[in-house]
Amino acid sequence: MSSPPPAGQLLAPDHPYWEKCARHQNKHTTRFVAHLFLCDGCAERLRRECFNDRPPMFEGLAIDGFCALCNRRQMVLLRQWFVCQICLGVVLAYPKTFAASQAVHNFWTTQIVRDFPNLRLEETEIVRLEPFIPGRRTQRRKSESVTFLDFAAFDVGLDDNPLAFHIEMKAGPGSIENMKQFQLDINDSNDVATVCNNSGIPAYIFHVQVGEEHAPPTRHSVARGMWWTDCFRLQEHLQNVKPRRGEEDKHAGYYCPGAFRVMDDFLEELRNRGYLALRERLAREPLPTR
Ligand SMILES: [Zn+2]
Ligand SMILES: [Zn+2]
């Protein structure tokens, strides 16, 4: 392995990783070039955390636009790296997850903080940028060992256990209102069940609709809607389990979207401390895993 050139330097044709995917830790040939408009902070972060510290082959064309990682409008530069198409799909999904997570924080700050000073939200599973390491387990979490989902909410008014509920966040392009079936990977539904059963604390599932807005030549991900359900209600709306299209080794559960409700109802759920009733139910009736 040759050591990477210092920051600021560009990848040159005589570099050992020329025409190699930047996200693949090993030498994986690709001639596909990713074009990403990024702010300086995100370019640095992407390079260090995701691209094995390999420099871009081009950096320039500064423009006022949206960063393709943090979604913020600011001065961004076009950066080009060799990235294979599979890894590009992963990189392009990061801003969608960031937008969804931001939407959950915004909902909490604008709708919940004032009326529920007893509740506190914590992001417990922060989105990590990762390189592709061949042979390493690609599954995000190992089901047996997970103790938290994406967010956890604490109720300081509870004296025994302040952990009130977990939140599993799912980001997708669709609106619940127009959806035929809501899809959740079996790995994810098993994580929800395991975390709930092990902690004795219920989970809510948030679906955040995330779309893309173009401000050529830049674009960014925008949250357009949010819906919620709880771990039991979702389970009761399971219609079938089948392989994911194009990925026969991965199964997903398909649910009736009627499981989900509008966010105004979530405030009602909190007012009633519905999570305490769910906690009692969970003690009697553990969630199934598959
Ligand atoms: Zn950025
Ligand atoms: Zn790759």
The tens-digit pLDDT sequence of the chain (290 residues) is 444 444 458 999 999 999 999 999 999 999 999 999 999 999 999 999 999 999 999 999 999 999 999 999 999 999 999 999 999 999 999 999 999 999 999 999 999 999 999 999 999 988 889 999 887 755 554 555 678 999 999 998 887 789 999 999 999 999 999 999 999 999 999 999 999 999 999 999 999 999 999 999 999 999 999 999 999 999 999 999 998 877 767 899 999 999 999 999 999 999 999 999 999 999 999 999 98
The tokens 């530069």 sit on which residue?
A: 77
Q: How far is Cα 74 from Cα 24, in angstroms, rounded to an integer?
A: 29
Cβ proximity of 152 and 169 under 8 Å: no
Q: Where does residue 176 rank: exposed (0-12), middle (13-18), buried (19+ CB within 10 A)?
A: buried
Would you state the pLDDT for residue 4? 45
Q: What's the CA-to-centroid distance between 236 and ligand 1, angstroms?
A: 40
Domains of the chain: 7-83 (no CATH), 93-284 (3.40.1350.10)
Q: What is the pLDDT of residue 243?
A: 87
What is the pTM (predicted TM-score) of this model?
Answer: 0.89
Residues whose beta carbons lie less than 5 angstroms from ion ligand 1: 39, 42, 67, 69-70
Q: How far is the CA of 13 from the centre of ligand 2 (A)?
A: 19
| C-alpha of residue 128 to centroid of ligand 1, in Å | 15
State the distance from the centre of ligand 1 to the C-alpha of 42, rounded, in angstroms. Answer: 4
Helix (H, G, I), strand (E, B) or coil at 169: strand
Q: Provide the edge-to-edge strand list for the sheet that holds 218-230.
A: 119-123, 151-155, 163-172, 203-215, 218-230, 261-262
What spacing in Å lies between the alpha carbon of 249 and ligand 2's midpoint?
Answer: 20
Q: Which ligand is nearest to the CA of 44?
A: 1
How distant, in Å, are the alpha carbons of 6, 74, 111, 247 from that of 11? 11, 25, 47, 34
Determine the Cα–Cα distance for residues 13 and 220; give it in Å rounded to an integer.
31
What pLDDT score does 128 carry?
87
Q: Return d(Cα 124, Cα 183) in angstroms, integer.
A: 23
Query: Which pLDDT belongs to residue 142?
Result: 52
The total of other beta-carbon atoms located within 10 Å of residue 167's CB is: 22
pLDDT value of position 126:
83
Rounded CA separation 265/253 (Å): 25
- The strands making up 73-82's β-sheet, listed across from edge to edge, are 33-38, 73-82, 58-66
Residue 137: per-residue pLDDT: 58
Q: Considering every ligand atom shown, identify the ligand nearest to the alpha carbon of residue 30 and give its number.
A: 2
Distance 46 CA to ligand 1 centre (A): 10
CA distance 245 to 181: 14
